[in-house]
Amino acid sequence: MTDQARRRRLPGERGFTLIEVLVVTLIIGILAAIAIPSFLNQKGKANDASAKELARTAQTAAETYATENSGSYEGINQEKLNQLEQTIPFVASGNCTGSNACVKSASGTTKSYKIVAESPLTKDTFTVESSAGTVTRKCTGTGGGCINSAW
């Protein structure tokens, strides 16, 4: 393309003004400010759901443990739950780290047990307790998975 042809096209072409670019940038910023907190809230709910599922899986493993030990939950802990169900992660220190939910604690007596799972992002805890066959589910935290301290 020659200089003469380029000069003929320039007056007819029109680009975006600085004001138009700034308005579009402002609109994108506002939409991002609305969407990002909503996304983070959904991520917290997903992590809470993962911790609930883990607590429920650990409950099934605890029942299996009792079946293998003449109906007694005595001696149950995170490591024994993991031996029965290897998908149950646990931490010996009692503090969950990383991006996955874990069983924070597990204990039992002859006729009862208590299992606590923790969500990694919100640090909400989900507890399953069984005493003489009556199961209760409690939770702590303000995330989407804990409503009125129950789940």
Q: Which stretch of 40-49, 62-71, 84-93, 142-151 has the lowest confidence by average pLDDT?
A: 142-151
| pLDDT tops 70 at residue 11 | no
Higher pLDDT, 14 or 52: 52
For the stretch 112-138, pLDDT in tens is 999 999 988 788 899 999 998 899 999
pLDDT of residue 121: 79
User: DSSP readout, 54-123?
Assistant: HHHHHHHHHHHHHHHTTT--TT--HHHHHHH-TT--B-TTS---SSS-EEEEEEE-SSEEEEEEE-TTT-
How far is it, in rounded angstroms, from Cα 49 to Cα 124? 11
pLDDT of residue 128: 96
How far is it, in rounded angstroms, from Cα 95 to Cα 86? 19
For the stretch 71-113, pLDDT in tens is 999 999 999 999 999 989 877 776 777 778 899 999 999 999 9
Q: Is the pTM of this model over 0.85?
A: no
User: DSSP readout, 11-61?
Assistant: GG-----HHHHHHHHHHHHHHHHHHHHHHHHHHHHHHHHHHHHHHHHHHHH
Q: Which stretch of 34-43, 45-54, 103-112, 120-129 has the lowest confidence by average pLDDT?
A: 34-43
- What mean pLDDT, rounded, does the chain reach? 86
